[in-house]
Amino acid sequence: MGVMWARKAGRDTHLSIFRNKQDLSKRAAEEIISLIRLGLAEEGRFTLMLSGGSTPKSVYAQMARAKLDWAKVHAFWGDERCVPPDHPDSNYRMGKESLLDRIHLPEENIHRIRGELPAAQAAQEYQEELVAFFGSQERPPYFDLILLGMGEDGHVASLFTASPALEESERWVIAVEHKQPPPPMVARVSISLPVINAAKRVILIVSGTAKALLVKQALNPEDEELRLPVQRIKPVDGELEWMLDEDAARLLADRKPNLT
Ligand code: 6PG
């Protein structure tokens, strides 16, 4: 397996780099499955937040091959585009086709964001669903694992650079206007930073040369200014793991000493 190097990249932040996207997907799937197995053994239930975008498709497809007690796993989404669930841009559809249709997850374990509704209503309903599932609205839900990708502009979930949504501190789910690239330019529904940062573990899966400069910027410990949404991910008590392919990590090479 092509782990080139893996090391700590700060307090409770880990960084692993793989030779190519194929190795990255395989290793990410293995790690996610072993976290689910561990969580099920310890807690009897696992809360998994799925990412949208295209990078996780092959990760999900490999996860679907694992034999485990999927009936105890609950799937959520970190963000959704406001399109119907069968639309090609739907994050729900991507997760369904690459993972959910291939495993035995009971219908009641699938907690999708209703992208077919107006964003504000879908956000409100999802917030209520999280409150009902986690049984409290006092503190943000504690997800066992949140999977995220990073956009070519450094966004995560649907939290875009300079968006007021980044400053949300009360609500767990928010409606986000999205009228400028990256596409698709449709309204979004996104979890807020407090939810991401309350998770037990966050895994960021990033692939491709187009993201190399942002990866370098995000992992530059000398830069105190939090310009990119991805830099705002700092789990309070949890762990953050960056999983990259060599293309996405290519500009990090001469920064190795800074990453210890
Ligand atoms: C979305 C996303 C978004 C995505 C990144 C990476 O709905 O747009 O959830 O945050 O994860 O943009 O997307 P790619 O994997 O397609 O590059």
Cα dihedral 30, 31, 33, 36, rounded to 10, equals 170
CB of residue 159 inside a 6 A radius of ligand 1: no
Q: What pLDDT sits at residue 58?
A: 96
| Protein residue whose Cα sits closest to atom 11 of ligand 1 | 149
Q: What pLDDT sits at residue 223?
A: 57
Going from the C-alpha of 25 to that of each of 54, 66, 76, 226, the distances in angstroms are: 12, 14, 20, 28
| Protein residue whose Cα sits closest to atom 5 of ligand 1 | 151
CB of residue 52 inside a 6 A radius of ligand 1: yes
Q: What pLDDT sits at residue 13?
A: 87
Give the mutation target among 55, 76, 80 for probing the ligand 1 site: most ligand atoms within 8 A of CB. 55
Q: What pLDDT sits at residue 260?
A: 32
* Closest alpha carbon to 78 in 53, 57, 54: 53
| DSSP calls for 8-62 | E-STTEEEEEESSHHHHHHHHHHHHHHHHHHHHHHHS-EEEEEP-SSTTHHHHHH
Q: E strands along the chain, which residues?
A: 3-8, 13-18, 46-50, 73-77, 79-81, 110-111, 145-148, 173-176, 188-191, 201-206, 239-245
Percent of the chain with pLDDT over 70: 90
Q: What pLDDT sits at residue 187?
A: 97
* Closest alpha carbon to 50 in 8, 22, 78, 28: 78
In terms of C-beta density within 10 A (0-12 exposed, 13-18 middle, 19 or more buried), how is residue 129 classed? Answer: middle
* Closest alpha carbon to 137 in 159, 108, 166, 170: 170
CB of residue 90 inside a 6 A radius of ligand 1: no
CB of residue 141 inside a 6 A radius of ligand 1: no
CB of residue 50 inside a 6 A radius of ligand 1: no
- Residue spans of the chain under pLDDT 50: 1-2, 4, 255-260
Contact between 40 and 68 (Cβ < 8 Å):
yes
Ligand 1 centroid–CA 52 distance in Å is 5
CB of residue 54 inside a 6 A radius of ligand 1: yes
Q: What pLDDT sits at residue 43?
A: 96
The Cα 145–Cα 93 span in angstroms is 20
Q: What pLDDT sits at residue 222?
A: 60
Burial 212-222 (b: 16+ CB within 10 A, else e): bebbbebbeee
